[in-house]
Amino acid sequence: MSATPWQAALSLGFTQRTPRTVLSHRQHNGPLLVQRPFYPESDGTAHLYILHPPAGIVGGDELRIEVQLHEQARALLTTPAATKIYAHPTHYAQQVLQAEVSNHAVFEWLPQETIAFNGSRCRNKVHIDLQDQGLFIGWDTMCLGRPAIAESFSMGELCQRFQLFHNGQPIWLERVCYQGDEPALREVWGLQGHPVFSTFVCAMVEQGLVSAVREALGEVNSAQESVAVTWLDGVLVARYLGEKVSRAHQLWQQAWAVVRQQCLNKAACAPRIWAT
Partner 1 sequence: MPTDHALLHLLHLVSPSLPVGMFAYSQGLETAVQQGWIRNAQQAATWINGLLQHHVGQVDLPVLQRLYTAFQQQDVTAVEYWNRYLYACRETQELRAEEIALGRTFARLLRELAVPEAAEWYQRSPPICYASLFALASVHWQIPLNSCLQGYTWSWLENQVAAAVKLVPLGQSEGQTILLQCLPRLPCYVEQALSLTDDEIGANTPALAFASAWHETQYARLFRS
User: By the criterion CB under 8 A, which residues form the site for partner 1?
Assistant: 161, 169-178, 183-184, 187-192, 197, 214, 221, 226, 228-233, 237, 239, 241
Give the length of the chain.
Answer: 276
* Other beta carbons within 10 Å of 53: 8
Tell the smallest beta-carbon distance from residue 159 to partner 1 (Å): 8
Which residues, 6+ apart, have CB-to-CB distance to 215 below 8 Å? 258
Rounded distance between C-alpha atoms, residue 163 and residue 13, angstroms: 20
Tell the smallest beta-carbon distance from residue 92 to partner 1 (Å): 12
> If we measure between CA atoms, which residue out of 162, 177, 182, 161 comes closest to residue 232?
162
Rounded distance between C-alpha atoms, residue 53 and residue 110, angstroms: 18
Nearer to partner 1, 148 or 232 (CB): 232
Nearer to partner 1, 55 or 177 (CB): 177
Tell the smallest beta-carbon distance from residue 226 to partner 1 (Å): 5
Nearer to partner 1, 17 or 186 (CB): 186
Question: 236 — phi, psi (to 5°)?
Answer: -85, 125
Nearer to partner 1, 48 or 164 (CB): 164
Tell the smallest beta-carbon distance from residue 79 to partner 1 (Å): 24
Nearer to partner 1, 175 or 272 (CB): 175
Tell the smallest beta-carbon distance from residue 231 to partner 1 (Å): 5
Burial, 268: exposed, middle or buried (Cβ in 10 Å; 0-12, 13-18, 19+)? middle
